[in-house]
């Protein structure tokens, strides 16, 4: 394979103003892609797009993934600015951690809506564009929490496990149309969110990781690049664990 892995491809990434989403956008641009960054914070989305190189390679759009019309507008923005979506990364997420005894119904509903319904909106609407064109790759962000279940995360674990089921079902529906759907399950990744953990909790998690360290956001971005590119052309319906071997 020669040349950039994402040359002439247009990618849409949700929750990409910062963190893992931004790292994925950065990696895609470096490989020749044009990206549309969706984020609940429109100003942050635009700032991220400017940082990536501005209007020729990136565009920022305010998007609430729980609202189908917002997601449709995000996907439409790709076609208006660059070309119809080739790669969709459903990365937007929130946490509302609490034990089941203390979790409110609203905290449960919010997390399910953003992660699960948001991913369904993105997969469904990007899939509709891709199937017409006979090609495309969808990458959905699950979590190790969806594989093993973590205390204090009945909402998040349920949503992230749901994303696996959704991805496999969608992969079966779209495979004969040339569209691939895969998922990533990150483990402990060094981000602003995880670095805010109490030291005791961090140390406890580190003890569970055979590679003996946390992952870096770019180590998720490179796996997203692999799933988005033709390097994974014979893979669909898979779940890649990027966890340093934790809970393998």
Residues assigned a catalytic role: 156
Compute CA 104 distance to the chain's CA centroid, rounded to the nearest angstrom.
26
Please name every residue paired with 180 in a beta bridge, in sequence order, or none if there are none: 137
Helix (H) / strand (E) element for 35: namely: strand 34-39
**Residue 245 in contact with residue 15, Cβ under 8 Å?**
no
Give the DSSP letter string of 133-163. HT-EEEEEE--HHHHH--TT-HHHHHHHHHH
Integer angstrom CA distances of residue 147 from 62, 161, 171 = 31, 6, 19
As a whole number of angstroms, the distance between CA 99 and CA 219 comes to 30
DSSP category for residue 113:
I
Q: What angle do CA 47, 22, 56 make, to 5 degrees?
A: 55
């Amino acid at each position: 394979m020669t040349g950039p892995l994402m040359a002439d491809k247009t990618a849409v990434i949700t929750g990409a103003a910062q963190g893992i989403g931004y790292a994925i956008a950065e990696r895609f641009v470096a490989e020749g892609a044009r990206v549309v960054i969706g984020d609940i914070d429109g100003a942050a989305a635009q700032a991220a797009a400017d940082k990536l190189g501005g209007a020729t390679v990136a565009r920022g759009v305010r998007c609430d993934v729980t609202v189908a019309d917002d997601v449709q507008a995000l996907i439409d923005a790709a076609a208006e600015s660059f070309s119809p979506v080739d790669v969709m990364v459903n990365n937007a997420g929130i946490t509302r951690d609490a034990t089941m005894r203390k979790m409110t119904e609203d905290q449960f509903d919010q997390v399910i809506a953003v992660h699960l319904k948001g991913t369904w909106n993105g997969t469904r609407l990007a899939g509709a564009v891709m199937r017409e064109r006979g090609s495309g790759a969808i990458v959905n962000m699950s979590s190790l929490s969806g594989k093993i279940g973590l205390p204090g995360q009945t909402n998040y674990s349920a949503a992230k496990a749901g994303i696996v089921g959704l991805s496999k079902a969608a992969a079966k529906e779209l495979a004969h149309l040339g569209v691939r759907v895969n998922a990533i399950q990150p483990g402990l990744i060094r981000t602003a969110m995880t670095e805010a953990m109490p030291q005791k909790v961090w140390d406890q998690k580190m003890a569970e990781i055979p590679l003996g360290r946390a992952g870096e956001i770019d180590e998720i971005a490179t796996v997203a690049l692999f799933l988005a590119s033709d390097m994974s052309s014979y893979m669909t319906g898979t779940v890649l664990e990027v966890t340093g071997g934790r809970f393998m």
